């Protein structure tokens, strides 16, 4: 044990109870000779978190934190992101990215509460999550020490992890020992991601059985289903007239979207660390939310405000993807975005059918900028003077005419 390693007395580990973090728990105890505190977040991954407590106790962990963060996750992270209509590289709805800052925040809060010297996570040295966890932690606790075992140890294969588990009598799920799924999964209330293994061939089409929360569009109901969403200041507050909390809104939209085969994505994306990565994603509720929010904004936001948001959105999405949720620039952008949402109030009606989300209606009693008296193709009674368009067009054509005349003279 080195002097640096022995200096760590207490570390807070982001702990799922799975193979990787169970090995990490024991490895931290052996390598650093320190007390390990475990933190398990329930952010809607759909698996029981109670087994994590039992496993942690097996290895003498005295301080075990298991927290239900579903409401906070959707209210304070997912909803603000969807106010921006954030999409990374044109398609990805940032389901994994947006979960990391919340976990990082709780890691450092627990470290402060317990007087821990360090925090630890199970992200690999090749991925984005190491960046997201650590940027979030450093933003909130500048001098925190981070231990990332995947960047330190030599257990760089599944076989070595299993051998270490056997050596130290770490319980391993039977499916994990037999190979488990031929890819890795990460789930929360916003989405499920699948990557690695057989998906590393970007030309390989995954079998339909891979998808967990959406039926295939071919097997979705043959009759469409309508859903009405109520918006207040850019957030959904009710579904079909029933008021729901943030987490319950997303849970219900996941159910509806999954039933109708909505929200599947197969993507090759660019990781922040530089490599390309193939991932498959299921985001049924988020897909519905994005379509509905843009529809709500279409009648309640000024044209140039909407255009400015669209200009800023790719930058905002990259900030989240790359781990800068707590950065001053993201916080500044969020203030602008949230201010734009003051008038985003009303209702959107959607038709869900075989993998598609079709907007069939949008209305706002208090904030609609759609004026039928001006927009009509029938007689508007003088509300709009069509003759004014001639001068408007000529002024906008002036630079084009000047350039064309110059070209003609040459």
What would the two tokens of residue 53 be?
A: 């407590």
Q: How far is it, in rounded angstroms, from Cα 156 to Cα 305?
A: 49
Q: How far is it, in rounded angstroms, from Cα 225 to Cα 354?
A: 10
* Residue burial 145-177, b: 16+ Cβ < 10 Å; e: rest: bbbbbbeeeebeeeeebbebbeeeebebeeebe
At a CB cut-off of 8 Å and minimum separation 6, what does 163 contact?
none
Cα–Cα nearest to 75, from 108, 47, 44: 44
What DSSP line would sit under 62-77, residue for residue?
--EEEEE-HHHHIIII
Active-site residue list: 20, 100, 129, 184
Contacts 24+ apart (CB under 8 A), 359-366: 359/291, 359/292, 359/295, 360/226, 362/295, 362/296, 362/298, 362/299, 363/299, 364/296, 364/299, 364/300
Calculate helix-pair angle for 246-259, 284-300, nearest 10 degrees. 110
What would the two tokens of residue 170 be?
A: 């770490």
């Amino acid at each position: 044990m080195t002097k640096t390693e022995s200096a760590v007395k207490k570390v807070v580990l982001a702990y799922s109870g799975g193979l990787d973090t169970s090995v990490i728990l024991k490895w931290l105890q052996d390598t650093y000779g320190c007390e390990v505190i475990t933190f398990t977040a329930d952010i809607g991954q759909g698996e029981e978190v109670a087994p994590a407590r039992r496993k942690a106790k097996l290895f003498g962990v005295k301080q075990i934190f298991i927290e239900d963060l579903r409401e906070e996750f959707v209210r304070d992270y997912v909803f603000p992101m969807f106010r921006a209509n954030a999409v990374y590289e044109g398609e990805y709805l940032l389901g994994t990215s947006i979960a990391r800052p919340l976990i990082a925040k709780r890691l450092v809060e627990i470290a402060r509460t317990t007087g821990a010297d360090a925090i630890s996570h199970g992200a690999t040295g090749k991925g984005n999550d190491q960046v997201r966890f650590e940027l979030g932690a450093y933003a909130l606790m500048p001098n925190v020490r981070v231990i990332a075992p995947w960047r330190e140890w030599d257990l760089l294969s599944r076989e070595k992890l299993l051998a270490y588990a056997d050596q130290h009598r770490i319980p391993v799920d039977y499916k994990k020992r037999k190979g488990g799924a031929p890819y890795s999964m990460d789930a929360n209330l916003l989405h499920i991601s699948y990557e690695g293994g057989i998906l590393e061939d970007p030309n390989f089409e995954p079998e339909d059985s891979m998808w967990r929360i959406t039926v295939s569009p071919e097997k979705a109901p043959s009759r469409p289903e309508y859903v009405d969403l109520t918006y207040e200041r850019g957030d959904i507050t009710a579904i079909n007239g029933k008021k729901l909390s943030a987490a319950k809104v997303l849970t219900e939209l996941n159910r509806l979207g999954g039933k109708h085969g909505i929200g599947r994505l197969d993507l090759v994306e660019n990781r922040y660390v530089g490599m390309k990565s193939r991932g498959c994603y299921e985001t049924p509720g988020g897909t519905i939310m994005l379509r509905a929010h843009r529809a709500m904004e279409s009648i309640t936001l000024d044209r140039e405000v909407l255009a400015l948001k669209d200009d800023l959105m790719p930058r905002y999405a990259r900030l989240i993807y790359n781990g800068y949720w707590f950065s001053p620039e993201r916080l500044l952008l969020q203030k602008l975005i949230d201010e734009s949402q003051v008038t985003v109030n009303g209702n959107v009606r959607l038709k869900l059918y075989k993998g598609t989300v079709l907007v069939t209606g949008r209305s706002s009693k208090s904030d609609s900028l759609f004026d039928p008296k001006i927009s009509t193709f029938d007689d508007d009674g003088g509300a709009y003077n069509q003759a004014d368009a001639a001068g408007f067009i000529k002024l906008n054509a002036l630079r084009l005419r000047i350039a064309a005349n110059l070209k003609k003279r040459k």
